[in-house]
Structure 1
Amino acid sequence: MTDPARRPWSRTVTAQDAALALAVTVPDVFFYATPLAPEVNGRDQLLLTAFALPEVVALTFRRRWPTAVFAVVWAAAVGAALLSLDSDFGFTPFFGLLIALYSVARLGARPVALTALVLTGLPVALGIWDPIATGAVRPDRQTALVISGIAFYLPITAVAWGAGRWIRSAAVAAERDRRELALARRAVRNERVQIARELHDIVANAVAVIVMRADTARSTAPTDPGRLAATLGDIEELGRNAMAELRRMLRLLRTADVPVADGAGRRGLADLGLLLDDARRAGILIDLEVHGHPARLDDSVDLTAYRLVQEAVTNIIKHSGPGSHAAVRIRWSEVLALEVVDDGAGRRPEAPRELSTGHGLLGLAERIALFGGELTASPYLSGFRVTATLPLSPPPATAG
């Protein structure tokens, strides 16, 4: 179905082509024939109209059906030339054929354009031969007529065909450049999304935990100086780890030929112990449950699984706070199933708004969808639950 927004443009182009058809056919009639000469009878005028009218109608639709238009115009030109050889009709049109040849060279495939170029030679030859066959030229002038005819028809035919092919090549190259630019922009956009995810996972989560630990240190400092020292040590370690990952990320960004996902923090489920220890030091009572036989994961899937647990645990620290009970459950089967659930029973009923970027779960959903997995995050009893399923290896398109 035609796009309604394009219909006015289509009507304008058709009107332009109709005007061009008239502008070409009228010179064809008056240059290659003498419709108003006294010796031209009514029959010849009707024949002239019968050959000129199809040319006008066909050229009006030259952009829509270039090959069919060339066939109609070519047939009219050949028919008129053959009739002129057998009678005193005298009409060998060519200008309309030039426009049809240009159109099929511009819009048609190369084999079709080459065929049209070869076929154009027939009406050209008939047009050159017509004055010789009808005796309009003396024998001693026939050779000069053939040479002058070739010198006239050959260049303008070659120019019309060559211009069509050149413009087609330029249009194809421009379209290819537009596609490549669109692909480059899409690649840059995807890379920026990956960078945003990694920065969130590396910086935002670490900073959120550091702020929580600092808040705990401030509240316990007057009553428990020993715990204050341990808390400050945890904060220092969290900061060092975040800086190490950030340095690795920055080195990666300076390596233009390596995708972000290929080296942005080689973390995996094997590193969950350190992550959960940080949560426990923040006052979260958290357990790890593993069911089934662990399978070897692709690095990208392993990192995605780790980031999911990291984001869910960080949200527990921010939104539930110390005293919450939580569990991380990993189930191995045909797919990897992950669940992080808490009871919301901590001593922090409302997390500071500035600690949330609003992109954590969104980034997780994008990561998991990239591998064909599913993510669910919703309130659960008095707490919150995050579940996800991941294939044990990424699909080929993602791996590529």
Structure 2
Amino acid sequence: MSGTASPSWLRSPWIQDLALACVATLADVLFWGGLLSPLATGGDRLLVLLLAVPEFGALLLRQRHPVPAFLVLWALATGTAALTLHQETFYFTPYLGFLIALFTVAERRRLTVAAGALLLSLAPMALKVRYVLTDQSAPGFELAVLVSTLVFYLWLTSAAWAVARWTGANRAAAERDREQLEQARRAVVQERTMIARELHDVVANAVAVMVMRAEAGRATSDGPSAEAFGHIEDVGRSAVAELRRMLRLLRSTGLVGEESLDRHGLADLDRLLAEARRTGLEVELRTDGTPVPLAESVDMTVYRLVQEAVTNIAKHAGPGTRATVRLRWTDALRVEVTDDGAGRTPAARHALSTGHGLLGLAERIAVFGGELTAAPYHSGFRITATLPLG
């Protein structure tokens, strides 16, 4: 249904305080006051209405000034209770308003102030008990009236105070959690900004220099050398584009994920393996079973797995290596990348490794309940990942 949300003006704290002040004052005048009593005189009724005015004002301002509002209502409750005790026709004690003010102080102020307010509550409470005991108890029932009235006011007052303390503790804990979350958010933003700056100043600039050198090499070469320089240039430009998107992601204010980057999946494996063959690898793709549609995040994870595995083969085994990428579809997707390790590994090729590729893959796959294993296999290496399809 449309229009189920409450109007914005009803959610205003000022409107809520006004409504509470009206309801509490009216309840005190009618329930804890003798406005409608047949024994009350016109002067008594007028006095009740006049005393309700400062109660209403104190309740209206209790959120902004909890302690002054409580003192006003305490004075009203104590004074009117004493007056009620000594006047035969006058009856008024704004005890509901007093409890609301006590609740506000206990919720929003430290323990010593809240305990002091609770101690002050004994005065109007004792006067109310005394009034009931002397004016409303039948002969022989004094003890029963005393116990029941005392228990009622003690329970009512202590319950309001205890609930307020519990509410205040929860509010403080929630505020601390919000502050810690905000601090963590700022720390993440600062760290992302620092990472983005380092990526731009070091990695992006270095890749840009390599692209320019490759472009210059292609312009001054011909044949296979020009083709190799062209391939380096294409890969470099692609890397710069990926870095540009990553820098934009890292510098964004929202903590967004990989959905902000370009998506790759199984449909892109042929192009990925074609790029690998241009580096000198002999890569074959095999598929067993019937492929099923994958969730976008799982699809991208499989692509990243094959990308990292093939890149590792190029870095560590080198040109001439024979590799196989096998996808086995059952109740789970098993991805297996093996190589024979028979390539011509250039010297110092290990310097191209960051040492975090397999760790990142394991973290990606673990998110989906999968497992990753990587170990030597015959003369080469094998990486295997199993991803549940359920």
TM-score between both structures, scaled by the size of structure 1: 0.51
The residue aligned with 2:108 is: 107
Query: Is the Cα contact below 8 Å between 1:203 and 1:246 reproduced in 2?
Result: no
Q: Say which SS state the counterpart of residue 62 (structure 1) adopts.
A: coil
Equivalents in 2 of 1:166, 1:175: separation in Å? 14
Q: Once the 2 structures are TM-superposed, how far is the Cα of residue 23 of structure 1 from its aligned partner?
A: 1.5
Match of 2:145 in 1: 145
Q: Secondary structure at the match of 2:140?
A: helix
Instruction: Evaluate the alpha carbon distance shift between residue 183 and residue 240 of structure 1 in structure 2; reply closer, same or farther with a 3 A threshold.
Output: farther
Q: Contact 1:202–1:242 at 8 Å: present in 2 too?
A: no
**Quick one: structure 1 residues 218 and 17, their matched pair in 2 at CA, closer, same or farther if it must change by over 3 Å?**
closer
Please tell me the residue identity of whatever aligns with 1:39.
L
Deviation at 1:127, TM superposition (A): 0.2
Q: 1:92 aligned to 2:93?
A: yes
1:124: how far off?
A: 0.7
Q: Which runs of 5+ in 1 are unaligned?
A: 1-7, 226-231, 233-238, 257-400
Q: Is the 8 A contact 1:62 1:103 kept in 2?
A: yes
Return the letter of the residue paired with 1:91.
F
Aligned to 2:314: none
Q: Letter of the 1:117 partner, please give it.
A: L
Instruction: Kindly provide the CA deviation profile for residues 198-243 of structure 1, in whole angstroms up to 9, marking residues without a partner as x.
Output: 3334432332232333334344447xx9xxxxxx9xxxxxx99998
Partner of 1:127: 128
Does the CA contact (< 8 Å) of 2:133 and 2:146 recur in 1? no
Distance 1:11 1:76, change over 3 A: farther
- Other structure's SS at 2:46 match: helix
Output the CA distance in 2 between the equivalents of 1:140 and 1:190. 76
Counterpart for residue 18 of structure 2: 18
Deviation at 1:117, TM superposition (A): 1.3
Q: Aligned in 2, Cα 1:242/1:113: closer, same or farther, shift over 3 Å?
A: farther
Could you tell me which amino acid in structure 1 is paired with residue 165 of structure 2?
R
Question: In 1, are the aligned partners of 2:55 and 2:72 still within 8 Å (CA)?
Answer: yes
Across the aligned residues of Structure 1 and Structure 2, the Cα RMSD in angstroms comes to 3.8
Which amino acid letter does the alignment assign opposite residue 180 of structure 1?
A: Q
- Aligned partner of 1:196 in structure 2 is 196
Secondary structure of the equivalent of 1:140? coil
Match of 1:47 in 2: 47
Query: What corresponds to 2:165 in structure 1?
Result: 165
- Give the stretch that moved more between structures: 91-100 or 9-18: 9-18
Q: CA deviation at 1:118?
A: 1.4
In structure 2, the partner of 1:181 is: 181
* Deviations, residues 281-309 of structure 1 (Å, cap 9, x unaligned): xxxxxxxxxxxxxxxxxxxxxxxxxxxxx
- Residue 247 of structure 1 aligns to a residue whose secondary structure is coil
Q: CA deviation at 1:81?
A: 1.0
State the one-letter code of the partner of 2:195.
I
Letter matched to residue 20 of structure 1: L
The match for 1:361 is none
CA contact (8 A) 1:70 1:101 kept: yes
The count of aligned residue pairs is: 239
Shift of 1:90: 2.9
Whole-angstrom CA distance in 2 between matches of 1:240 and 1:183: 47
SS at match of 1:159: helix
Matches within 5 A, 1:14-93: 14-88=14-88, 89-93=90-94
Q: Write the letter of the residue equivalent to 1:160.
A: A
Matched residue of 1:171: which SS?
A: helix
Match of 2:351 in 1: 244
State the Cα deviation string for residues 122-169 of structure 1 (Å, max 9, x = none).
101100001334x54345222111110122112222221122222222
Task: Note closer, same or farther for the CA distance 1:186–1:33 as it changes in structure 2 (3 Å cut).
Answer: closer
Task: Name the aligned partner's letter for residue 180 of structure 2.
Answer: E
For residues 109 and 241 of structure 1, what CA distance do their matches in structure 2 show? 66
Q: Distance in 2 between matches of 1:193 and 1:157?
A: 54
Give the SS at the match of 1:92. coil
2:102, 2:208 → 1: CA distance?
A: 70
Contact 1:14 1:61 in 2 (8 A): no
CA–CA distance in structure 1, aligned partners of residues 10 and 113 of structure 2: 25
Deviation at 1:11, TM superposition (A): 9.5
Q: Normalising by structure 2, report the TM-score.
A: 0.52
State the 1:39 CA deviation: 2.7
In structure 2, the CA distance between the partners of 1:62 and 1:92, relative to structure 1 (3 Å rule), is same
Letter in 2 for 1:102: F
Single out whichever of 142-151 and 153-162 deviates more from structure 2: 153-162
C-alpha offsets along residues 336-384 of structure 1, whole Å, 9 cap, x if unaligned? xxxxxxxxxxxxxxxxxxxxxxxxxxxxxxxxxxxxxxxxxxxxxxxxx
Question: Gaps (5+ residues) in structure 2?
Answer: 1-7, 226-231, 233-345, 364-390
Q: Counterpart in 2 of 1:266?
A: none
**8 A contact 2:10–2:16 mirrored in 1:** no
Cα deviation, 1:79-129, whole Å, max 9, x if unaligned, reads: 001112222223333111111111222222322222111111210110000
User: What SS is found at the alignment partner of 2:40?
Assistant: coil
Distance change in 2, residues 1:161/1:241 (3 Å): farther
Identity %: 43
> Quick one: distance in 2 between partners of 1:185 and 1:253?
23
- CA distance in 1 between counterparts of 2:139 and 2:80 reads 24
1:125 alignment partner AA: A
**Kept after mapping to 1: 8 A contact 2:22/2:56:** yes
Partner residue, 1:295: none
